[in-house]
Structure formats: C-alpha cells, structure tokens
Structure 1
C-alpha cells in the first residue's frame, strides 16, 4: 500500500518527455500476442483445432465446445447440420443457415457457424450464451472466460463484507484480523503479511470506499473492483494521501466462505500533491542544509557530465545507483540535460537516516529542441562518517511535462 518503487528517475522522466512511435509498439505487441484460449468454470478447454478470431468473434471446433457444455452431439454431414442436446436444451443449426432452433424456437445465427479450413466452427459467445452461460473476454491474456451466472444480489453482501472486515482491521491496526480474510494459500501471502505488519506498526491509515462493484462473479470466484481514498491518520512515517483503484480477487474456501486470493492495484493518483510538503519533520538546520547541498551536487554533476562526482553522491553499493549511472551515461550521449532543484523537505528523520522529498526540474535538448519536465521524488539519505549520502535511487511520486 506504499508508493511504487521506480528506479532510474532520469530514464522515467525522459520517457515522459520524448515522443515514441506508438505504431511500432502496437505492431510488436500484435506479433507477440499469445494464442487464444477458452476456459469453462476456470478450466482450460481443448479443441481439435486452435481457436481463431474472425470479425471480432472467437470461433472454436463445435464438437468439443458442445461436449464441454454438457451436450450429446450428432453431426449430419450430408446437410451440414449440428444436433446437440443436454438436459435443459436442444439445439439444431445448419452451416450457412441464418437461424438455429433452440428448444424449437428460432434464434438468429448471425454468422456464428462457419466452415474454416474444412472444419465446422462455432462462435463461442453465441453457443455459450444460448446454453445459459456468461461469457467474458480478457483482451490482455486473450482468454474467453465462460462461467455459470450467479445472482450478484445473493453474494454482494458477503463479498463487500470481506472488504469491510479488511477496512476495520486496517483502522484497528490488527494485522492478524486483516490476514484472516485471505486464503491460507493466497498468492504471495507471506510477503503481503510481512508488508501489512510493517505498515501497521509504522502508520495509521483510513480507507474510504468511493465505489465498489462486482464485474466478475461465478459460484466459486469473484472480482470486486473498488475506488478508494486512502488517508494518513497517524504515525511517524511519510505517507501521502491518494486515490487508488483495486481489483480484489476472491475465491471460496473449503467452507464456502469468500476469502481474498490476491489484490491487484489498477491505478493510483495523489489526492493532494501540495499537501505532501506539510509532512516535513523537524531536523537540525545543519542536516537540512547538508542534504539539500547533496542533491544540488548530484544535479550539478548531471549538468557537468561529471560521472565520478555523480557516483560520489551515493553510498558504496547503493541499490540501483550503478544502473542509474549507466543510464545517465547513455542519455548524456544523446541529449543535453539541465537539472535543478525546485523545492526540498525532509519528511522522515532519525539522526543518521532521513527521507528527502524533492521537486526537480529537468530540461532535455536534442537537435535544438528542448523539452521540460518536473519530477517529484522521494530519496533515502544516510550519514556516513559525518557525511550525508544517498542510500538509494528513490521513489518517483510524480512526473509531468511542463
């Protein structure tokens, strides 16, 4: 629930300033697109021929799909007619026909029955929907997801109740109660628990649900999509207020109770960027001045292309420093850069350790054209032998073009 760690801030700022070719990226993504798959109640289906997309519809070999949906199937080759029957339905449809018979009633086929490569293929959504199933398309993974619909009104209270319990445990600072809402085999459970216990010991936060909805619900799995406002209520560490969007992925445990499997963060936006500066803490003036001077020295090293001076602002073996220095050398070979400090504040301080909040301005020039940006960054600093040095490359809180 903390800020996202992003190393190599110069690279990230430049990526926001330099316009890249979107067409090249799209072509590359299409070339590397995974094969289309189909799942039924969470289990992958196998077909005699691979699924294919035509005109935005996914087509599969008919016999395997019907059998997976519980039908017995008869195919009359002479008339190219499929006859499928389950306990609840009888479907009859013909290649080239415009209608299908479903329990004797006509349904428009709309091109959902085709001969492709000598095989009879049917539209997944068409057949699954006729069979009373819910169909969803996961564009990123290219998976057609078929599930049995469940009444959201029946499960909504139980699902939202899990989130309410998480919220109460968070407000109470009760890590054990928080983790009790997760499956015993939840994804990354140990890492989540370690992070929650550390967070609860350092800061008190309050979460308000702006919205909650259930985009996916089956008999055993659900996704609850939320928009949340998360605000600091107490504690000594730096914690900016923000508005996040999450997807809570839940499954039923052995007793039939909804539990969290994992939580995916969809987006995060700061609620009050200017308010971050109000979290400045007391520190001796000489340390404030020394830390500010350290940042100025690093940015001056960037402006001067003095890579030794740049490296000297870090403690030896600082996480990410070597990679950032290598990036800096590559960038300086192609661009002329000018960086300067706009504002700084120490937002955590413990004598020989501190956390620096800094707003920096960067001008990037290539072929006579200059682009400007602002970066808000959080950098750990430490005092070694009486000298302040950067302990890592920091977390980028905000990038914007000017």
Structure 2
C-alpha cells in the first residue's frame, strides 16, 4: 500500500511539474470545462494552461463576454469594446488600459503557436465576473457579479432624479444630470419639455455592465402624454450609458432606444394641429399625389413629391426595380396634420392599407406612418423617409 501511494504521489508530482513548465511546454490543450453563468462553453484547442494559468485565444474568449475586437498586427495590440468598457492590451506588455485608465497586466497577453492568448481570469474579473476553480470537476466557473446593492442604488438614483425633473419640466435639473462629455441633445430635450408634458413610469430596470467609471443600465419605460403638443404614447426599452462625474455621482452620457411600441395609435389622430385650410389641403394633396404615383408605377411623379435629398438617383433606381417587379394598391384610410410650425414645416399622420402583388404572390397590410413635410416656395413636399408607428398584416 505504501509503495502504491508513493507511485501515485510521484505521478501527481510529475503532472504538476509539467503544467508549471514554460510556455512552449504548455501548449497542449487540457480537458478543462469553462462555465459562463452556469452554461458550458467549449473553447476546444483555443484554451491552454500555461504555468498553471488558463489562457484562451483572444477572439474566442472576448466574443463570449460580448466584446467586439480589433487586432493591430504592427503593435500586437488587442482592442476590445463592449457596453461600458474598453480594453486595450498588447502581447508581452506589463501595462494595459481599461476605459483609458492604466492597469497592470503582467503576463496576461501572450503569443503561443501562432495564437494570441489572454488570461481567462483577468478578462473575467475586469468584466465583473466572479471566477472560481473546482479541482474536483476540473471546471472554471465565471458568474456575473455586477455592482453591490449600494452601487446599484447609486446608479438607479439617476433615473429617480430624471423622473422628478420630467415631472417638474425642469430644464436646469436635466442639464445637471448629464455628464460633461454627454452625447445627448440637451437643448432638444428641453425644447420638447417646453412644448409637451409627459409622464414616464419605469416598469423594469437592470444593470447590464458596471465598472468604477462606466455603468450601463437597460430600462423599460412607459411614457404617456399629459398635455401640450403632439406626443405618441409608447413603451420603450432604452439603454442608458452613465459616466461617473468629478463629484462622484453618476451622469447620463448617452441613451439608445433598443425597441419601441406605440401604445395608443388611435388616440394619435385626436392630436390634430391647427393648420390653415389652404396649407392643410396642400399637404394632403402632395401625399395623395405620392400614393397615385406609387399605384401607377410612375417614378418621376413619385420623386416630384419629395423634398430634395442626396442619392436621389439611387432611390430612382430602387423605385424602378420595385415598380417593375411589384404591383401596389395603396389606399389612405385617414390622415391628419399633427405638428405645424406656423409657416413651412409640418408632420403628417396617415393610416393606410397597402396591397402588394409580386409575380402572383399577394400580401396586404395596414400601417400608420408619420411623414414630415416642408414648404418650398409655395409648394408643400414630403420627406423621403417616413416613420412607421404600426404595421399589421391582414
């Protein structure tokens, strides 16, 4: 028994020594399981153990964490970007950068057998994952940790303040919630608040990523009009990127609308603007002309209803191809003007039904669109792009 135990111990020692060898000796992949938030990820030959440390080919690894990557061959530098975090690191360098801040990365980026490898624990840790090793199951587990309850509260406090500012229509308060480098059009939001009062209810919120300097939160917001100018009630999913200000408080850097559902389409037609009869008739006439041109497959007549825009020839070609291959039957159910600046800009709200026949294959849909109109001289014309608020297959 003693001899057998010594042999087993000796074999274990030899294995351990071989794993702790140099880079060239450790290039053979080992059977290691990686679990990301409880789900197994098979990195195959892209995962190796070097001196007892797990490394994965940078592209395969960073993709799993949601990063987009670029690699500079000249400098052997990896640039990795995800929501709220930018990592820059070079092969063999002792220092890298996370969101512009210098960090120590000794031995975290290596080159081996033609591959560029990055430390698995390093990437997991900087991406807010808890990294654990189980020798029994030979498993590396990575579980997203995110911020603490206190840190979450600090992030969510921004949105609580934003709701209060919205309720008060406080333009000054809005500016105070924006970061110094914000991408937001603060004046645009302020103008909207001056003309329209809304109420937003946050139905759901979660923190998507978190670092000391950048936090990203996804909110489901239900916004309704209280009073004032035209506003379509809607439920949206928005991604807020926050930067930490010099005062230590979170500020809004940017907002992306990921999805939107308009919740009171019929009620939009009750928000008609006051427009002189002559202008209203002219706006309706140009849209009528556009529909007629589409039904008659008249490209030139269709283009004549549009405000000037770049790449008109490209649209002309597209319309020609469409009219050549499809027959349209568009009818207007109802329309109204919902915005008017008093002189030369307006917004047209239209409900229409479209039947399309492509080589005998027919489809029918009803939709509601918003189309901006502008007055050029004494003639109203339409913007080439319209916003679809709803589309229902019939």
Task: Place the TM-score, normalised by the shorter chain, in its bin.
Answer: 0.5 to 0.7
d(CA) in 1 for partners of 2:236 and 2:253? 19
d(CA) in 2 for partners of 1:153 and 1:193? 30
d(CA) in 2 for partners of 1:159 and 1:277? 38
SS at match of 1:305: coil
Distance 1:220 1:133, change over 3 A: same
Q: Which deviates the most, 167-176 or 154-163?
A: 167-176
Q: CA deviation at 1:379?
A: 1.9
Distance 1:42 1:385, change over 3 A: closer
Q: Paired residue for 2:156?
A: 160
Q: Kindly indicate whether the alpha-carbon contact (under 8 Å) linking 2:128 and 2:146 is maintained by their aligned counterparts in 1.
A: no
Q: Kindly indicate whether the alpha-carbon contact (under 8 Å) linking 2:346 and 2:373 is maintained by their aligned counterparts in 1.
A: yes
Distance 1:339 1:120, change over 3 A: closer
Equivalent positions of 1:149-298 (< 5 A) are 151-186=147-182, 188-189=183-184, 192-236=185-229, 238-283=230-275, 287-298=279-290
Give 5+ residue unaligned stretches, structure 1. Answer: 1-32, 49-63, 74-114, 137-145
Counterpart pick for 2:388 among 375, 381, 396: 396
d(CA) in 1 for partners of 2:302 and 2:387? 18
1:155-214 CA-to-partner distances (Å, cap 9, x unmatched) read: 12221111122222222222232121121122x24xx12321322232222111111222
Q: CA deviation at 1:133?
A: 7.1
SS at match of 1:239: coil
Q: CA deviation at 1:367?
A: 1.8
SS at match of 1:394: strand
Q: Paired residue for 1:367?
A: 359
d(CA) in 2 for partners of 1:347 and 1:35? 46
Matched, 1:45 2:80: no
Q: Paired residue for 1:334?
A: 325
Give 5+ residue unaligned stretches, structure 2. Answer: 1-67, 72-77, 93-103, 131-141
Distance 1:161 1:327, change over 3 A: same
d(CA) in 2 for partners of 1:132 and 1:297? 58
Equivalent positions of 1:336-351 (< 5 A) are 336-349=327-340, 350=342
Q: Kindly indicate whether the alpha-carbon contact (under 8 Å) linking 1:314 and 1:321 is maintained by their aligned counterparts in 2.
A: no
**Greater RCO (Cα-Cα under 8 Å, separation 6 or more):** 1
TM-score, structure 1 normalization: 0.62
SS at match of 2:181: coil
Q: Kindly indicate whether the alpha-carbon contact (under 8 Å) linking 1:321 and 1:393 is maintained by their aligned counterparts in 2.
A: no
Q: Paired residue for 2:50?
A: none
d(CA) in 1 for partners of 2:126 and 2:210? 15
d(CA) in 1 for partners of 2:221 and 2:115? 49
d(CA) in 1 for partners of 2:275 and 2:126? 66
Matched, 1:134 2:128: yes
d(CA) in 2 for partners of 1:39 and 1:393? 32
Q: CA deviation at 1:272?
A: 1.4
Distance 1:344 1:319, change over 3 A: farther
Equivalent positions of 1:351-362 (< 5 A) are 353-362=345-354
Distance 1:269 1:148, change over 3 A: closer
Distance 1:39 1:369, change over 3 A: closer
d(CA) in 1 for partners of 2:223 and 2:392? 23
SS at match of 2:291: helix
SS at match of 2:368: strand
TM-score, structure 2 normalization: 0.63
d(CA) in 1 for partners of 2:91 and 2:356? 54
Q: Kindly indicate whether the alpha-carbon contact (under 8 Å) linking 1:149 and 1:218 is maintained by their aligned counterparts in 2.
A: no
SS at match of 1:213: strand
Q: Kindly indicate whether the alpha-carbon contact (under 8 Å) linking 1:354 and 1:380 is maintained by their aligned counterparts in 2.
A: yes
SS at match of 2:269: helix
- The alignment yields a C-alpha RMSD, in angstroms, of 3.8
Q: Paired residue for 1:124?
A: 120
Matched, 1:376 2:372: no
Q: Kindly indicate whether the alpha-carbon contact (under 8 Å) linking 1:346 and 1:354 is maintained by their aligned counterparts in 2.
A: yes
